């Protein structure tokens, strides 16, 4: 993905605790919710920007987008009925740097966003963070019984390249099940 310039080491260090603006609007089919921005995303200002993150390829391979988008093209997402936010806004080197309280507060914020914008589905990308944020220790990948207001909730695997449990084809298949559920 060549559209986002690679940050320097100093820029990555300086990105700690930065935020990346939500890409959101009314009438979305799916609002994707990551755990929190990486330092790479904090430095570039783009969601899922770190090389090796498989969010953008999974979106494309599952049919959500007609071509592979670069993180620098995130503002095109609403034209496909998609948006993106994070449970926790601050950038960290690793998601395990977040406290359970931060995730829980992020879950509350996500519920407010969903109530305001009313996407058809909110898809939390990361099962462990979902379990903590929403006090749902037995949650599994896929559709959840819980609704946020009248909005369906779906949990997807974390697309980070560090998630060895899911290779890109498996990740794309999970994203595809969500896409297929939209009708």
Is 9-181 CATH 1.10.10.10? Answer: no
Distance CA 10, CA 149 (A): 43
Q: What is the mean pLDDT of the chain?
A: 95
CA atoms within 13 A on the CB side of 9: 0
For residues 23 and 30, the answer to whether their CB atoms sit within 8 Å is: no
Distance CA 157, CA 175 (A): 9
Domains in the chain: boundaries:
9-181
Please, which pLDDT band fits residue 161 given cuts at 50, 70 and 90?
confident
Q: Answer yes or no: is pLDDT of 165 > 90.
A: no
In sequence order, the 6+-apart residues with CB closer than 8 A to the CB of 18 are: 37, 42, 43, 90, 91
pLDDT for 71-128, tens place per residue?
999 999 999 999 999 999 999 999 899 999 999 999 999 999 999 999 999 999 999 9
Which residues, in sequence order, are bridge partners of residue 85?
Answer: 33
**Residue percentage of the chain with pLDDT more than 70:** 99
* Three-class secondary structure of residue 140 per DSSP: coil
| CA distance from start to end of the chain | 30
Distance CA 128, CA 158 (A): 9
């Amino acid at each position: 993905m060549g559209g986002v310039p690679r940050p320097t080491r100093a820029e990555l260090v300086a990105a700690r605790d930065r935020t990346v603006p939500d890409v959101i609007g009314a009438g979305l089919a799916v609002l994707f919710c990551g755990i929190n921005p990486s330092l790479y995303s904090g430095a570039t200002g783009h969601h899922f920007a770190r090389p090796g993150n498989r969010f953008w390829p999974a979106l494309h391979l599952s049919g959500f987008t007609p071509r592979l988008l670069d993180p620098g093209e995130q503002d095109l997402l609403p034209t496909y009925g998609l948006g993106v936010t994070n449970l926790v806004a601050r950038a960290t080197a690793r998601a395990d740097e977040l406290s359970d309280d931060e995730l829980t507060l992020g879950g509350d914020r996500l519920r407010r966003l969903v109530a305001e914008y009313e996407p058809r589905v909110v898809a939390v990308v990361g099962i462990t963070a979902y379990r903590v944020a929403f006090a749902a220790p037995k949650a599994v990948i896929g559709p959840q019984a819980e609704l946020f207001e009248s909005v369906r909730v779906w949990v997807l695997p974390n697309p980070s390249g560090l998630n060895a449990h899911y290779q890109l084809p498996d990740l794309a298949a999970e994203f595809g099940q969500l896409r297929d559920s939209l009708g």
